[in-house]
């Protein structure tokens, strides 16, 4: 299946597609930029590679209070439904 065909395929029993989610994400990021913030975005696999290549970064990231005390599972954020390839 081509990448284009995959982006048009519906997800589960919904009418949502990966293309819809991608466009919604881009719109949300643009709102943040329009509010005056700088946004740095990388793919989850690139972030995982950074953590693997730099043990110090992984230690610092995992020990940050936001990550340690977060009410959410950071793994769900990094490898959640929208980003996890199955």
Q: What's the pTM value of the predicted model, to 2 decimals? A: 0.49
- 40-50: per-residue pLDDT in tens? 888 888 988 98
Domains of the chain, residue spans? 1-41, 42-86
Counted residue by residue, the chain has a size of 86
- 11-25: per-residue pLDDT in tens? 666 677 888 888 888
10 beta partners: 17
Contact 50, 57 (CB under 8 A): yes
Check pLDDT > 70 for residue 4. Answer: no
Check residue 84 and give its pLDDT.
Answer: 47
Check residue 33 and give its pLDDT.
Answer: 95
Mean pLDDT of 29-49: 90
- Matching residue, tokens 């793919």: 43
């Amino acid at each position: 299946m081509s990448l284009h065909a995959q982006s048009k395929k519906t997800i589960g029993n919904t009418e949502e597609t990966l293309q819809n989610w991608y466009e919604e994400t881009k719109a949300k990021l643009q709102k943040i930029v329009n509010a005056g913030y700088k946004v740095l975005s990388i793919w989850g696999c690139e972030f995982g590679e950074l953590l693997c290549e730099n043990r110090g970064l992984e230690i610092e990231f995992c020990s940050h209070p936001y990550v340690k005390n977060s009410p959410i599972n950071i793994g769900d954020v990094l490898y959640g439904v929208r980003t996890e390839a199955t």
